Structure 1
Amino acid sequence: MSDKPVPVSIDPDPLEPFALAPAWRVGNLVFLSGQAALAEDGSIVGEGDFDLQLGQTLANIERVLESAGSDLSKIVKVTIYLTDMANFPKIVEARKKHFTPPYPADTTVEVSSLALPELMVEIDVIAAV
């Protein structure tokens, strides 16, 4: 495969209204845009419910990775944005549930808000293909 960047597309694409690609594949790596609790139609899933939002976010990551020819087991780097660090223990549990050792490199930060005020978590990843 060439190292020429190739956009990854999904259909339907809930990120399209925001003028960004779900991901880009460069060589054997795929770089995902931040994924959040958006349904395929762009509606917010789990408003006020962190567990539902985290589950939808992870499902969206899986969907984009699959479109890029990858999966959760090939994630090498995760960046997690939380609007409340009190949810960090749930992040640790999700890592143990969805990833296996050796775990991906990770950065987790608390932010005052995300792109849409109802969102509580956003995750971007880099994965091998």
Structure 2
Amino acid sequence: MSRTIISSDRAPKAIGPYSQAVKVGNTIYTSGQVPFDPATGELVTGDIATQTRRVFENLKAVLEAADASFADVARVGIYLTDLANFAAVNAVMAEYFKEPYPARSTIGVAALPRGAQVEIDMVAVKE
């Protein structure tokens, strides 16, 4: 099966040897996004809600580059450096998703790139 590399200049460039997303068949796998401003490449400042919104906006840009949207997302993976931020991240996620919600995991991690507090990846299926 062939792979199509997906990229958007409205999301931060990859900071390593990976693509923003890869489409295989009708499935889109996004790489994890952290709250980097795509214009500057710098971590956004602010509370966890501000950082989480930036992550979802970055993912929205990548999905749109694949002709997809949050309505096509089947699974979300969330990585937090502080699980006390769980409720705040849930509240922001509810701004971007409507029922029926995708499957999701939330995992506490020791650290994320450049001191980010949140990283999110997704799997979408575009029929």
TM-score normalised according to structure 1 size? 0.89
Extract unaligned runs of 5+ from structure 2: none
How many percent identity over aligned positions?
34
Partner of 2:18: 20
Aligned-residue offset at 1:13: 5.7
Cα RMSD, aligned residues only: 1.5
Aligned-residue offset at 1:17: 3.5
1:108 aligns to 2:106 (yes or no): yes
Kindly tell me: are residues 31 and 91 of structure 1, through their superposed partners in 2, closer, same or farther at Cα, counting changes over 3 Å? same
Task: Write out the 4+ residue segments of structure 1 that deviate beyond 6 Å after TM superposition.
Answer: none
Supply the distance in 1 between the matched residues of 2:90 and 2:25 (Cα, whole angstroms).
Answer: 30
TM-score normalised according to structure 2 size? 0.91
Aligned-residue offset at 1:63: 0.3
The one-character-per-residue Cα deviations of 1:9-49 (angstroms, maximum 9, x if unpaired) are 22266333422200000111100000110111311112x52
Which secondary structure state, in structure 2, belongs to the residue aligned with residue 34 of structure 1?
A: coil
1:79 aligns to 2:77 (yes or no): yes
Aligned-residue offset at 1:108: 0.2
Kindly tell me: are residues 98 and 16 of structure 1, through their superposed partners in 2, closer, same or farther at Cα, counting changes over 3 Å? closer
Kindly tell me: are residues 21 and 89 of structure 1, through their superposed partners in 2, closer, same or farther at Cα, counting changes over 3 Å? same
- Counterpart amino acid of 1:124? D
Which secondary structure state, in structure 1, belongs to the residue aligned with residue 79 of structure 2?
A: strand
Partner of 2:120: 123
Extract unaligned runs of 5+ from structure 1: none
Aligned residues: 125
Matches within 5 A, 1:49-68: 49-68=47-66
Kindly tell me: are residues 95 and 13 of structure 1, through their superposed partners in 2, closer, same or farther at Cα, counting changes over 3 Å? closer
The one-character-per-residue Cα deviations of 1:57-112 (angstroms, maximum 9, x if unpaired) are 00001000000110011110000000100110112212322111111000001101
Which secondary structure state, in structure 2, belongs to the residue aligned with residue 16 of structure 1?
A: coil
Supply the distance in 2 between the matched residues of 1:13 and 1:85 (Cα, whole angstroms).
Answer: 25
